[in-house]
Amino acid sequence: MDQEYERRLLRQINHQNLPSKACLTKVRSRESLGAACSPVSVKSGDRFIPTRAGSNWSINFHYANENCRSPSQNYKAKDAGSDSGKDAVAYAALLRNELLGAGIDSVPDPHGDDRRHAVLTQDSRGLFRYTVHTKRVPFDSDNEVSPYSLSPLSNKSHKLLRSPRKPARKISKIPFKVLDAPELQDDFYLNLVDWSAGNLLSVGLGACVYLWSACTSQVTRLCDLSVDGDSVTSVCWNERGSLVSVGTHKGYVQIWDAAGGRKLTSLEGHSARVGALAWNGEQLSSGSRDRVILQRDVRTPPSAERRLQGHRQEVCGLKWSPDHQHLASGGNDNKLLVWNSSSLLPVQQYSDHLAAVKAIAWSPHQHGLLASGGGTADRCLRFWNTLTGQALQSTDTGSQVCNLAWSKHANELVSTHGYSQNQILVWKYPSLTQVAKLTGHSYRVLYLAVSPDGEAIVTGAGDETLRFWNVFSKTRCTKESKSVLNLFTRIR
């Protein structure tokens, strides 16, 4: 080796070893090696000693677990209510117990909103802890593992694995009943299916309205408008389930007594088809293609009516709030309007949707919470606080939103969709995670109604079928066994 090259190499090595000598002198003065050298930002060859003094291991571990998937994967790919989802949650809790000493002794709810809060509020602890147990608990205690156990897991982890797990909620992917519905129109702006408090389903097929009893499966024809050259464009039951209102293509609103099978009255006032109806006690609201909403009391003469004018195109959605104080209306002008019971002008107007607003639903759990869905060009579910007029959350569903309905038992809602996926989605609010996705209709799922007990839904589509699903059911097994006998029935 060249002597000059060897001399330069030795000089460079001696220069690089200077920080190490400084560290050794500090070690001799009773300073730790890691504490003295870690903060020094001087290169020391190929060795790198990271500084972890300020790290919060529990938070880092939690966020690494949370952020390993994209939001779209969190939202679509995995159902947290499934067995695999719960196993993943249990495994993550077990790792936190063994690595971080989290002390978790029960499997957290995958759908719970307090999981992140629970982890963040834990005490900040080091990764390695050395403790001496001075007090021993008898091995037969519930909180202690046998001293002769060969398991490497801690007591908390054993309790975690022994903790009872909630049974996974399983929503059947197939309908428990299918009815043929010939001449059920494939028209986005109509509302042709409704379920009464008396467990009667009313369906508008062509020029006729049929009633189907969910108790006896008996089908009766209520009315036939073909005599007058008219057709059915909407149906709606009153709250008691005794009267059914029928909107027609010529702009009439007929009131029928379901038990007696007779027409009580026929209301005029609209100059075009009536596609939306909504009852509020003894008052009936009707929305039409003539852009007008009429409110009438069926106990008073037809002349006593209120005309609400705010939409610039056809009114296709109407829903009264659970407290009977506010009416929400949606139109083909992409507007969502909120009216009170006294003013002739809308008290609130929302213009965020980019397509027709037919899907409207008031939450029965939170006062003033309103949900709405837009058509093909919008595809979004949006939530509104009508008490303050503020927009809350929104999510892109990926397809046309045709109908919305809230569960009576839980903070969940179901939406039906058209172009392009024709699916039925169950959502958990406010996390807006998908609980279930149901398919089966070959056309747009334009019609939706909820059973009076709030456990089942019926959907209708242009494929001329009505399908019954146990979505919010608590007594799913009993109901399915009862409905297996008469699976297919044709409405005549």
pLDDT at 128: 52
Mean pLDDT value of segment 116-135: 46
Task: Classify residue 427: in a domain, yes or no.
Answer: yes
Q: For residue 478, is it within any domain?
A: no
Residue 354 and residue 438 in one domain? yes
In a domain, 78, yes or no: no
In a domain, 44, yes or no: no
Residues 200 and 99 in one domain: no
Between CA 194 and CA 67 the distance in angstroms is 43
- For residue 31, tell me if it sits in a domain: no
Enclosing domain of residue 156: 95-107+124-165
d(CA 193, CA 446) in angstroms, rounded, equals: 9
Q: Which residue has the higher pLDDT, 170 or 66?
A: 170
Answer whether residue 67 shows pLDDT above 60.
no
Determine the average pLDDT of the residues in 292-316: 89
Same domain, 325 and 255: yes
Q: Are 186 and 149 members of one domain?
A: no
pLDDT band with cut points at 50, 70 and 90 for residue 111: low
Looking at the predicted structure, is the pLDDT value of residue 105 above 90? no
pLDDT in tens, 34-64: 444 444 444 445 666 666 655 555 555 555 5
CB distance 314 to 288 below 8 Å:
yes
Instruction: Indicate if 160 and 182 belong to the same structural domain.
Output: no
Residue 151 and residue 223 share a domain: no
Indicate the pairing of strand 177-180 with strand 488-490: parallel
The band of 25, judged by pLDDT with boundaries at 50, 70 and 90, is: very low
Domain identity same for 306 and 327: yes
CA atoms within 13 A on the CB side of 141: 9
Q: What does the CA dihedral 284, 286, 292, 294 come to, rounded to 10 degrees?
A: -20
Most confident of 133-147, 159-173, 386-400, 475-489: 386-400
Half-sphere exposure of 450 (CA within 13 A, CB side): 19
Please give the average per-residue pLDDT across 76-91, as a whole number. Answer: 62
Assigned domain for 39 exists: no
Longest CA pairwise span in the chain (Å) = 118
Find the mean pLDDT for residues 354-365.
95
Domains of the chain: total? 2
List, for residues 439-467, the tens digit of each pLDDT value: 999 999 999 999 999 999 999 999 999 99
In this prediction, residues 382-395 reach a mean pLDDT of 94
Residue 454 falls within a domain, yes or no?
A: yes
Residue 347 has pLDDT above 90, yes or no: yes
Comparing 62-76, 87-101, 315-329, the range with the smallest average pLDDT is: 62-76
Same domain (yes/no): 448, 305: yes
Best-predicted range by mean pLDDT (33-47, 143-157, 236-250): 236-250
Same domain, yes or no: 160 and 186: no
pLDDT in tens, 250-263: 999 999 999 999 99
Report the pLDDT averaged over residues 230-234.
96
> Do residues 432 and 443 touch, judged by C-beta distance below 8 A?
no
- Structure token pair of residue 356: 């027709």
Instruction: Average the pLDDT over 168-185 and give the result.
Output: 90
pLDDT for the residue 95? 83
pLDDT of residue 489 exceeding 50, the answer is no
Do 344 and 320 share a structural domain?
A: yes
Kindly report the CATH number assigned to the domain that includes residue 330: 2.130.10.10
Does the pLDDT at position 418 exceed 50? yes
For residue range 113-123, list pLDDT tens digits in order.
444 444 434 44
pLDDT, greater one: 149 or 235: 235
**Is 235 a member of any domain?**
yes
Query: pLDDT tens across 188-229, in order?
Result: 999 999 999 999 999 999 999 999 999 999 999 999 999 999
Q: Which residues pair with 308 in a beta bridge?
A: 293
pLDDT at 14: 65
Which band of pLDDT confidence, cut at 50, 70 and 90, is reported for residue 4? confident
Same domain, yes or no, for 159 and 184?
Answer: no
Shared domain check, 410 and 275: yes
